[in-house]
Amino acid sequence: MTKKNTVYLTQEGLDELKKELDHLINVRRPENILAIKEARALGDLSENAEYDAARNEQAQIEGRISQLEKMLENVSIIQDVKTDKVGIGNTVSIKYVDDNEEDQYKIVGSQEADPFESKISNESPIAQALFDHKVGDIVTVESPNGNYEVEIIEIK
Protein backbone atom coordinates (compact mmCIF):
# COMPACT_ATOMS: atom_id res chain seq x y z
CA MET A 1 0.00 0.00 0.00
CA THR A 2 2.66 2.54 0.99
CA LYS A 3 6.25 2.92 -0.13
CA LYS A 4 8.75 2.94 2.74
CA ASN A 5 10.35 6.37 2.25
CA THR A 6 7.30 8.14 0.87
CA VAL A 7 6.03 11.04 2.99
CA TYR A 8 2.26 11.43 2.52
CA LEU A 9 0.98 14.97 2.98
CA THR A 10 -2.09 17.01 2.26
CA GLN A 11 -1.49 20.21 0.30
CA GLU A 12 -1.86 22.09 3.60
CA GLY A 13 0.81 19.90 5.23
CA LEU A 14 3.17 20.43 2.29
CA ASP A 15 2.69 24.19 2.51
CA GLU A 16 3.49 24.08 6.26
CA LEU A 17 6.74 22.12 5.68
CA LYS A 18 7.82 24.51 2.92
CA LYS A 19 7.06 27.47 5.19
CA GLU A 20 9.10 25.94 8.02
CA LEU A 21 12.03 25.23 5.68
CA ASP A 22 11.93 28.78 4.31
CA HIS A 23 11.92 30.19 7.87
CA LEU A 24 14.87 28.02 8.90
CA ILE A 25 16.95 28.95 5.84
CA ASN A 26 16.11 32.64 5.61
CA VAL A 27 15.60 33.63 9.26
CA ARG A 28 16.96 31.15 11.79
CA ARG A 29 20.17 30.26 9.91
CA PRO A 30 21.27 33.91 9.44
CA GLU A 31 20.38 34.71 13.08
CA ASN A 32 22.44 31.73 14.21
CA ILE A 33 25.44 32.70 12.04
CA LEU A 34 25.35 36.16 13.61
CA ALA A 35 25.15 34.63 17.11
CA ILE A 36 28.21 32.45 16.35
CA LYS A 37 30.18 35.48 15.10
CA GLU A 38 29.25 37.50 18.19
CA ALA A 39 30.15 34.64 20.53
CA ARG A 40 33.44 34.10 18.71
CA ALA A 41 34.27 37.78 19.23
CA LEU A 42 34.04 37.26 23.01
CA GLY A 43 37.37 35.46 22.94
CA ASP A 44 38.49 32.09 24.33
CA LEU A 45 36.29 29.50 22.60
CA SER A 46 37.23 26.68 24.98
CA GLU A 47 35.19 28.19 27.84
CA ASN A 48 32.66 30.19 25.86
CA ALA A 49 29.13 29.06 26.75
CA GLU A 50 27.53 31.42 24.22
CA TYR A 51 29.64 29.94 21.44
CA ASP A 52 28.81 26.36 22.49
CA ALA A 53 25.09 27.18 22.65
CA ALA A 54 25.16 28.85 19.23
CA ARG A 55 27.01 25.87 17.72
CA ASN A 56 24.50 23.45 19.25
CA GLU A 57 21.65 25.52 17.84
CA GLN A 58 23.38 25.50 14.46
CA ALA A 59 23.50 21.70 14.52
CA GLN A 60 19.77 21.56 15.34
CA ILE A 61 18.87 24.02 12.59
CA GLU A 62 20.99 22.26 9.96
CA GLY A 63 19.65 18.86 11.05
CA ARG A 64 16.05 20.01 10.69
CA ILE A 65 16.78 21.63 7.30
CA SER A 66 18.28 18.36 6.10
CA GLN A 67 15.32 16.38 7.46
CA LEU A 68 12.80 18.68 5.76
CA GLU A 69 14.67 18.58 2.44
CA LYS A 70 14.67 14.76 2.51
CA MET A 71 10.94 14.72 3.29
CA LEU A 72 10.19 17.12 0.45
CA GLU A 73 12.18 14.94 -1.99
CA ASN A 74 9.92 11.98 -1.14
CA VAL A 75 6.57 13.72 -0.77
CA SER A 76 3.37 12.37 -2.23
CA ILE A 77 0.37 14.71 -2.14
CA ILE A 78 -2.87 13.14 -0.97
CA GLN A 79 -5.41 13.96 -3.67
CA ASP A 80 -8.25 12.44 -5.65
CA VAL A 81 -9.50 10.75 -2.49
CA LYS A 82 -11.95 7.96 -3.27
CA THR A 83 -14.75 7.14 -0.86
CA ASP A 84 -15.55 3.56 -1.87
CA LYS A 85 -12.69 2.10 0.22
CA VAL A 86 -10.63 3.48 3.10
CA GLY A 87 -7.30 5.04 2.18
CA ILE A 88 -5.02 7.95 2.98
CA GLY A 89 -6.94 11.22 2.94
CA ASN A 90 -10.28 9.72 3.95
CA THR A 91 -12.27 10.75 6.97
CA VAL A 92 -13.69 7.56 8.42
CA SER A 93 -16.51 7.19 10.94
CA ILE A 94 -16.28 3.99 12.95
CA LYS A 95 -18.22 2.27 15.70
CA TYR A 96 -16.44 0.15 18.30
CA VAL A 97 -18.19 -3.23 18.33
CA ASP A 98 -17.64 -3.82 22.08
CA ASP A 99 -19.31 -0.67 23.39
CA ASN A 100 -21.10 1.00 20.44
CA GLU A 101 -19.00 4.17 20.90
CA GLU A 102 -18.40 6.09 17.68
CA ASP A 103 -15.36 8.02 16.51
CA GLN A 104 -14.29 9.81 13.38
CA TYR A 105 -10.71 9.98 12.13
CA LYS A 106 -8.99 11.58 9.19
CA ILE A 107 -6.18 9.36 7.89
CA VAL A 108 -3.12 11.45 7.02
CA GLY A 109 0.61 10.89 6.58
CA SER A 110 2.67 10.46 9.75
CA GLN A 111 4.03 14.04 9.54
CA GLU A 112 0.53 15.50 9.88
CA ALA A 113 -0.88 13.13 12.48
CA ASP A 114 -2.47 14.96 15.40
CA PRO A 115 -4.65 12.92 17.75
CA PHE A 116 -6.07 16.12 19.29
CA GLU A 117 -7.55 16.98 15.88
CA SER A 118 -8.59 13.35 15.19
CA LYS A 119 -5.92 13.06 12.48
CA ILE A 120 -4.29 9.63 12.63
CA SER A 121 -1.19 8.40 10.86
CA ASN A 122 -1.52 6.06 7.91
CA GLU A 123 1.01 3.91 9.82
CA SER A 124 -1.15 3.61 12.97
CA PRO A 125 -2.69 0.23 13.82
CA ILE A 126 -6.25 1.47 13.33
CA ALA A 127 -5.51 3.03 9.92
CA GLN A 128 -3.68 -0.10 8.80
CA ALA A 129 -6.68 -2.23 9.81
CA LEU A 130 -9.15 0.05 8.00
CA PHE A 131 -7.25 0.30 4.68
CA ASP A 132 -9.05 -1.09 1.63
CA HIS A 133 -12.23 -1.87 3.58
CA LYS A 134 -15.72 -0.57 2.80
CA VAL A 135 -18.70 0.82 4.69
CA GLY A 136 -20.31 -1.97 6.72
CA ASP A 137 -17.08 -3.97 7.08
CA ILE A 138 -16.07 -5.03 10.57
CA VAL A 139 -12.30 -5.10 10.98
CA THR A 140 -9.99 -6.24 13.75
CA VAL A 141 -7.50 -3.67 15.00
CA GLU A 142 -4.32 -5.11 16.48
CA SER A 143 -3.06 -2.85 19.25
CA PRO A 144 -0.48 -3.20 22.02
CA ASN A 145 -3.37 -3.30 24.53
CA GLY A 146 -5.09 -6.17 22.73
CA ASN A 147 -7.21 -6.59 19.65
CA TYR A 148 -10.61 -4.99 19.18
CA GLU A 149 -13.19 -4.74 16.42
CA VAL A 150 -14.62 -1.68 14.70
CA GLU A 151 -17.34 -1.28 12.10
CA ILE A 152 -16.90 1.25 9.29
CA ILE A 153 -19.96 3.49 9.27
CA GLU A 154 -19.00 6.17 6.75
CA ILE A 155 -16.10 7.06 4.44
CA LYS A 156 -15.67 10.65 3.28
Q: Mark out the alpha helices in the chain (DSSP H runs).
A: 11-23, 29-41, 49-73, 125-130
Mean pLDDT value of segment 13-37: 96
Query: What values do phi and psi take at 155, rounded to 5?
Result: -125, 125
Say whether pLDDT at 43 is over 90: no
**Res. 3 pLDDT band, cuts 50 70 90:** low
Report pLDDT digits (tens) over 95-151: 999 998 999 999 999 989 999 999 999 999 999 999 999 999 999 999 888 999 999
What pLDDT is attached to residue 4? 63
91-155 sits in which CATH class?
alpha beta
In the predicted model, what is the mean pLDDT of residues 85-92? Answer: 94
- Whether 7 shows a pLDDT value over 60: the answer reads yes
Rounded to an integer, the average pLDDT of 66-70 is 96
What CATH number was assigned to the domain covering residues 7-77?
1.10.287.180
What length does the chain have? 156
**Is the confidence at residue 80, as pLDDT, over 70?**
yes
Positive or negative torsion for Cα 67, 70, 74, 75:
positive
Look at residue 79 in the predicted model and tell me its pLDDT.
85
Give the start-to-end residue ranges of the domains of the chain.
7-77, 91-155
| Cβ pair 118, 105 in contact under 8 A | yes
Q: Read off the pTM.
A: 0.75
CA angle 32, 36, 38 (to 5 degrees): 115
User: 10 Å Cβ neighbour count for 8?
Assistant: 23
Confidence of residue 2 (pLDDT cuts 50, 70, 90): very low
**Average pLDDT estimate for 43-61:** 90
Q: Is the pLDDT of residue 61 over 60?
A: yes
